[in-house]
Amino acid sequence: MKTIVFIPARGGSKGVPRKNVRFFAGKPLVVHSIEQALGAEGIDAVIVSTDDQEIATISQNAGAQIITRPASLSGDKATSESALAHALGELEQQGETIEKVVFLQATSPLRPKNCITEALARFDEGKFDSLLSISPTHRFFWRVQGDKAVAEYDFLNRPCRQDILPEDIRYVENGSLYIFSTEHFKKVGNRLGGKIGYILFEEEYSFEIDSETDFRVLEEVAKSIF
């Protein structure tokens, strides 16, 4: 019964071309997640699913196992869940029995030290079906209804940041880390569901790379973290 880390990394990218192999803080972007996974306790294998030979070579050299993703699961509309289902199928055909999956997104290269080990412990202790990393945000949220802006907070009594009560803090799904049982995933086809736990990352770890601006900003943030 194995615990694997799964990292989806296709070759196509419109926001930041070739982002998974572009150098970020001194090494290809995908390598940060691979190295963090290899440094965690309780991980039996690190799997990179890709359709791209350069990504495959770089990932393999960094210590990951490669599962070649078919073209039908590599387009802009292909989901990470479809790539994961394919990878699990390939591993099962090889005789592997996967119990838990740690899902890392290469576009979130900044993670707290030891967070994967801590998240796995939290997942097991809480007997969760799935778990995700979240980060606090102190921004004020609004919704748009037609031509009207509707506040999700009491703007007549706008609180100072330091006065926001713990129960009033909002959290964002930062996209960095997910854990789930294979049994859960096969049942619902999604990384989240059932009894959902969480691990908290501070705000500096909440950013994802989806644009050139994200890339430049995160490299500056990385200087104070790495």
Residues with a known catalytic role = 158
Q: Which residues touch 43 (CB under 8 Å, ≥6 apart)?
A: 3, 4, 5, 37, 102, 116
Q: What is the CA radius of gyration of the chain?
A: 19
Beta strands in the chain (DSSP E): 2-8, 23-24, 27-28, 45-50, 65-68, 98-104, 130-137, 142-145, 148-151, 170-181, 196-200
Return left, alpha or beta for 200; rule: phi > 0 is left, psi -120 to 50 is alpha, else beta: beta
DSSP 184-195: HHHHHSSSS-SS
Residue 7: CA count within 13 A, CB half-sphere: 34
CA–CA separation, 57 and 30 (whole Å): 11
Q: Encoding tokens for residue 44?
A: 């039996």
CA–CA separation, 96 and 80 (whole Å): 21
Name the residue among 188, 192, 163, 169 with its Cα closest to residue 179: 192
